Amino acid sequence: MTKKITTKMVGTVGLLVAVHVVLSRFCSINAWNIKIGFAFVPIFVAAYLYGPLMAGVVGALGDFVGAIAVPIGMYFPGFTVTCFLTGVIFGLLLHKKQTAPHILGAVIVNQLVLGLLLNTLWISILYGAPYRSLLVTRIVQSAILIPVEFLTIGFVMRTLFHRRRGVIS
């Protein structure tokens, strides 16, 4: 069942895309082969509020707009695909089920499958660097981001959950 697209939803998605751009481009540690930051937060929020498709849209648009408006390097559509898939996975696993195992599962799939394996492939293609060598260096990124994402998503989820129930005004 699809949700009706409302003006509020469009405005919220636009705001989440803008937050994604800011967190990704200005509040992240970026090197040519490693990126550590909190750009996953607006994607998770979109997944929590609207489900997999809109979360994927937030991820993809955030990556594309950020790459065009504030380029860090050469634009590569593979990273946009990864951002879209990140939103889809968050949406599938966390839209209606925000338990610790679901959060951990979503984080592990995103970090190990998308972040480590797929993004390493994109970097290897983009820069012509050996995949296996990149994989070894990018394990550090995943090791840092798995607990950071797990704890951050848990905190944001509790905050949104309580706010939606009227506990936080």
Q: pLDDT tens digits for 28-67?
A: 887 777 888 999 999 999 999 999 999 999 999 999 999 9
Please check whether residue 36 is in contact with residue 28, taking contact to mean a CB–CB distance below 8 angstroms: yes
Question: Is 80 within the bounds of a domain?
Answer: yes
Alpha carbons 43 and 83: distance in angstroms, whole number: 8
Cβ atoms of 162 and 48 closer than 8 Å: no
**Backbone φ/ψ region at 32: left (φ over 0), alpha (ψ -120 to 50), beta:** alpha
User: Is 2 inside a domain boundary?
Assistant: no
Q: What is the DSSP letter of 3?
A: P
**Residue 150 resides in a domain:** yes
* Position 169 in a domain: no
Query: Model's pTM, two decimal places?
Result: 0.89
Tens of pLDDT along 121-160? 999 999 999 999 999 989 988 999 999 999 999 999 888 7
Domain count, the chain: 1
Q: Is residue 65 domain-resident?
A: yes
β-pair partners for 30: 35
